[in-house]
Each structure stands twice: as structure tokens, then as C-alpha cells.
Amino acid sequence: AQSVAQPEDQVNVAEGNPLTVKCTYSVSGNPYLFWYVQYPNRGLQFLLKYITGDNLVKGSYGFEAEFNKSQTSFHLKKPSALVSDSALYFCAVRDNVGSARQLTFGSGTQLTVLP
């Protein structure tokens, strides 16, 4: 079975400061990891994914995420937060074992960037 946890319901950060949104996962085999962002009254937008290779993945809007196999984590980061980054962020995982193709989502983290 695959699962993902986002331990923080809410993260507040001042504009211009670095931000981190945490995610840990559990899979049987190797993980495929994804980050999505949801703005109010919108669907989910894909930010980035880790499949294999370099542990630091760069994505849209200046976001990046670091895959850490020993800690089973895939934290989302950005060096300098913008007020427009305020949104709901979801981490998701898919196991490379078995036939299931669907993603399992975390509970979401509401990011608020304060001006």
C-alpha cells in the first residue's frame, strides 16, 4: 500500500523568506513523487515530480523539492516566497510496484505568505 503524510495543516511565512512544505511517504517499491498546488476555486496544477536521478527536482514558479530516500521525504521548497504563492499544496505518491496507476494524495498544507 502507498501513503503520504503532510504533517503541517498550515504554514505561514513572510514574503521574501524561504519556504518549506513537508511531505513524507510510504511505498512498497520505489516512489514516484509529485507536488500540486490548488488556488481557491481552481483545480490542481502540477508543480514538479521525482521519478529517478538527481535528488533535487526543479519545477514551475521557482519551486523545487528534495528527495531523501533515507528519511522517506520529499519536501517542497522555494528560496524566496511571494504573496501569490499563497495556496493549498498537495504532495502525492505512486508506487512502482503493482498495477495501480492512481496517485495517493496527502491531506494538504495551506501556505500563507504574509506581506
Q: Which of 59, 81, 90, 111 binds another protein (CB under 8 A)?
A: 90
Q: Which is nearer to another protein, 78 or 94 (CB)?
A: 94
The distance of closest approach from Cβ of residue 105 to another protein in the complex, given in angstroms and rounded to an integer, is 5
Binding mask 3-42 for another protein (x = CB under 8 A): -----------------------------x-x-x----xx
The distance of closest approach from Cβ of residue 18 to another protein in the complex, given in angstroms and rounded to an integer, is 25
- 102 near another protein, judged by CB under 8 A: yes
First-to-final CA distance of the chain: 41
Q: Which of 40, 43, 53, 115 binds another protein (CB under 8 A)?
A: 43
- 94 near another protein, judged by CB under 8 A: yes
Residue for grid cell 521557482: 62
Measuring CA to CA, how many Å separate 10 from each of 42, 68, 102? Answer: 19, 22, 26
